[in-house]
A and B are shown apart, each in its own frame.
Chain A
């Protein structure tokens, strides 16, 4: 029964979305208050029905309703309840439903928190988002209905892909989609700004907190995905340049450029057209990512049920959304080209450089991802596209960014002197080089990657600290939230850089043969295997090796890697044992049993500073959220007149 309720809810949500995409927009164009006032109510109604549909699917999973074919394909009687719940978004149909639920949630939030924004503008924003809703709901209902029945239903279902039976996978998709879908808000604000009768310069200010929040969620989502790949898939790898990873990384790079160009446009009115373009691009790249993952044009691990028909639908949808937006841009943008001039040495120039590097990086990743398609399209035949070549290009493009990041915030708007900017950073530069050399001496690591990583990392952290201290000293009220956010995010980039450099430079890996009672030594740690026992889980059984790890005379920890055999589907999975630490991760994975002797081959990894990679990413994301929560974005309408002056003073 719940499946039918879900289906009906989806259809009702579609009806409301269709009304939302038309009525408030008409109201805004004609100045009809009544029609504009419908927007929040319609957004609330839509969200209620989307939540109903989502709940209906969740209930079908929890109750083992195998007559719903999506449930039968991705769940079974042995699956524990939390994985049954996360199985709702474990595959194509349900993940789209999650996507829609989150879009509905963003719309609800826009409706609720936009009291300071003029009503016609909010009405337009919600209408544009309503149009996006309509597209996705049609997509779900016509090509990817999660509520389809199979009668009679099977007695038991198949299994959720064991790779996805993991806590990281419970949270990774929702966070990632929060980011993807959140860019729809930035997109809608930009479009609403273009549609608007009179040129609205404030749209950028209204759009900023939403863009920052979306970008932060995307940061968390990508970091979580990387962490999951590290312990579930990789043998210690944390980024693979897989097409699907790239699909999430391209919007992130564009989003990074966008949050910086928004700052310029809001504060100085410079590059307004460019900011509009980036807002369109960020969401379009999210759509493109969806297309690449689900249409089957590229081969990837996230093998969603590939279906050219679905691919075509997304492509047509993307054509309408992005094509329409860019046409509107071409028609309207000339009117908003009202930038103010600036000098070579100025905050504007610094942020322009930021935008150039991040946009070029995004283009580079996009090109690399689509390379096989381009080659095929041009008829250049087959070429070997092996393991990725992105790394070198990326380091090349990001090195100048690392060098320049600390300079940006210390530069004044419009015009500044080069020496005035560089002088306060001299201390940071010297300290970062000396500290890096000291750390490397202490760690006895003199590889080029490690040394440059530490210098770059300390430079970013030191630069952020310099800005924070100087600003705090200069103003009585201390740092504003958006400044705190920036300091945190830039320092987070430094932490990330150190982690990445250390992992790439100094990972220790060894394969050994070990029998119960034996001890192996690796980089100062002693791994003793006590026994290998058989253990049972809800839907698997496993061989579990029990280790104790000593350093010197002290026992640090015990570790128990497993080799799991899943009952349904017959897959074998290696469950690695991890001992995370701030300065290193210990990592033990089981290989094969070697003969009858009871000996096993095992792999031991010691990964220095690997946590700093995700720690840095979390700092970056937190920085974004803190900046998004700044009061200046939530100012009452009246207060805004005086706000730019105040912002000028603190900036």
Chain B
């Protein structure tokens, strides 16, 4: 009899996990990172088109910017791409592509096919900086202010709602900076 209850027990544990995940689902998407409110970690990473150009944290300070984590292997990045393009066009601040755990050739091919929406790229093929950044899974989008503080983070693809939310936050950042 006890042995017969094992499957039920396993199932209940699974349900508990899923209930917990359901409640934190939005958190995983919105705040999630303990790094929100903290400075962007130190990094210096090569570019995508230009492997010899190194961009480091210091180069980006002074102006607010958006950091968009993506990879050519990531389907959801493809889903959010139209909105990333709109961010590139409509947001008044720099949009940095953070190419993660990718191959240069694949990433360039991807950009060739779907369009280069970003103002600048950094690549983290080994994924070391991503760990410091607390990257959870692509795509992710960080909003960083002019002092290099992470102000907001979105996990998952950008859709119309998220896009509107991001734009509003960007406008607020701009207003604060002035």
**Chain A, Cβ-Cβ closest to B102:** A387
Q: Report yes or no: A301 in contact with B76, Cβ–Cβ below 8 A.
A: yes
Q: Report yes or no: A303 in contact with B113, Cβ–Cβ below 8 A.
A: no
The reply to whether the CB of B92 lies closer than 8 angstroms to some CB of chain A is no
The reply to whether the CB of B25 lies closer than 8 angstroms to some CB of chain A is yes
In the complex, chain A residues whose CB is within 8 Å of the CB of B7: 277, 280, 326, 329-330
Bound: A373/B16 CA distance, A: 11
In the complex, chain B residues whose CB is within 8 Å of the CB of A280: 7
> What is the distance, in angstroms, from B141's C-beta to the closest C-beta of chain A?
12
> What is the distance, in angstroms, from B78's C-beta to the closest C-beta of chain A?
7
Bound: A14/B147 CA distance, A: 59
Q: Which B residues, 71 to 93, have Cβ-Cβ distances below 8 Å to chain A?
A: 71, 73, 75-76, 78-79, 82
Bound: A383/B78 CA distance, A: 23
Interface centre among B15, B115, B130, B134 (most CB of A within 10 A): B15
**Chain A, Cβ-Cβ closest to B4:** A330
In the complex, chain A residues whose CB is within 8 Å of the CB of B4: 273, 329-331, 333-334
Bound: A479/B139 CA distance, A: 53
Contacts known (A299-B157, A333-B4, A385-B136); A240 close to B75, Cβ less than 8 A = yes
User: How many contacting A-B pairs (Cβ < 8 A)?
Assistant: 131
Bound: A288/B32 CA distance, A: 24
Q: Report yes or no: B113 in contact with A570, Cβ–Cβ below 8 A.
A: no
By the criterion of a CB under 8 Å from any partner CB, how many residues of chain B are at the interface?
54
Q: Report yes or no: B127 in contact with A300, Cβ–Cβ below 8 A.
A: no
The reply to whether the CB of A283 lies closer than 8 angstroms to some CB of chain B is no
Q: Report yes or no: B22 in contact with A312, Cβ–Cβ below 8 A.
A: yes
The reply to whether the CB of A368 lies closer than 8 angstroms to some CB of chain B is no
The reply to whether the CB of B135 lies closer than 8 angstroms to some CB of chain A is yes
> What is the distance, in angstroms, from B136's C-beta to the closest C-beta of chain A?
5
The reply to whether the CB of B100 lies closer than 8 angstroms to some CB of chain A is yes
> What is the distance, in angstroms, from B130's C-beta to the closest C-beta of chain A?
5
> What is the distance, in angstroms, from A232's C-beta to the closest C-beta of chain B?
11
Bound: A385/B115 CA distance, A: 26
> What is the distance, in angstroms, from A354's C-beta to the closest C-beta of chain B?
20
Q: Report yes or no: A315 in contact with B75, Cβ–Cβ below 8 A.
A: no
Q: Report yes or no: A318 in contact with B101, Cβ–Cβ below 8 A.
A: no
Q: Which of A233, A296, A382 contacts B25 (CB 8 A)?
A: A296
Chain A, 318-352, contact with B by CB distance < 8 Å: what is the 0/1 string? 11001100110111011000000000000000000
Q: Report yes or no: B127 in contact with A330, Cβ–Cβ below 8 A.
A: no
The reply to whether the CB of B175 lies closer than 8 angstroms to some CB of chain A is no
Chain B, 137-155, contact with A by CB distance < 8 Å: what is the 0/1 string? 1010000000000000001
Q: Which of A296, A381, A382, A574 contacts B113 (CB 8 A)?
A: A574
Q: Report yes or no: A334 in contact with B109, Cβ–Cβ below 8 A.
A: no
In the complex, chain B residues whose CB is within 8 Å of the CB of A291: 18
Q: Report yes or no: B115 in contact with A572, Cβ–Cβ below 8 A.
A: yes
Bound: A327/B1 CA distance, A: 11
Q: Report yes or no: A591 in contact with B112, Cβ–Cβ below 8 A.
A: yes
Bound: A381/B134 CA distance, A: 9
The reply to whether the CB of A152 lies closer than 8 angstroms to some CB of chain B is no
> What is the distance, in angstroms, from B140's C-beta to the closest C-beta of chain A?
9
The reply to whether the CB of A603 lies closer than 8 angstroms to some CB of chain B is yes
Bound: A315/B25 CA distance, A: 14
Q: Which of A322, A372, A373, A589 contacts B11 (CB 8 A)?
A: A322
Q: Which of B1, B112, B137 contacts A299 (CB 8 A)?
A: B137
Q: Report yes or no: B15 in contact with A295, Cβ–Cβ below 8 A.
A: no
In the complex, chain A residues whose CB is within 8 Å of the CB of B19: 315
Q: Which of B5, B33, B73, B156 contacts A382 (CB 8 A)?
A: B33
In the complex, chain A residues whose CB is within 8 Å of the CB of B113: 235, 574, 589-591
In the complex, chain A residues whose CB is within 8 Å of the CB of B110: 235
The reply to whether the CB of B17 lies closer than 8 angstroms to some CB of chain A is yes
**Chain A, Cβ-Cβ closest to B26:** A308
8 nearest interchain CB pairs? A301-B75, A591-B112, A326-B8, A330-B4, A386-B101, A299-B156, A373-B21, A382-B134
Residues of chain B touching chain A, judged by Cβ–Cβ distance below 8 Å, are 1, 4-5, 7-8, 11-12, 14-15, 17-26, 28-29, 32-34, 71, 73, 75-76, 78-79, 82, 100-101, 105-106, 108-110, 112-115, 127, 130-131, 134-137, 139, 155-157, 159
19 contacting pairs across A/B (C-beta < 8 A): A240-B75, A277-B7, A288-B14, A297-B18, A297-B28, A299-B137, A300-B75, A315-B15, A315-B18, A326-B7, A329-B4, A333-B4, A372-B136, A372-B137, A376-B24, A384-B127, A385-B136, A569-B82, A601-B112
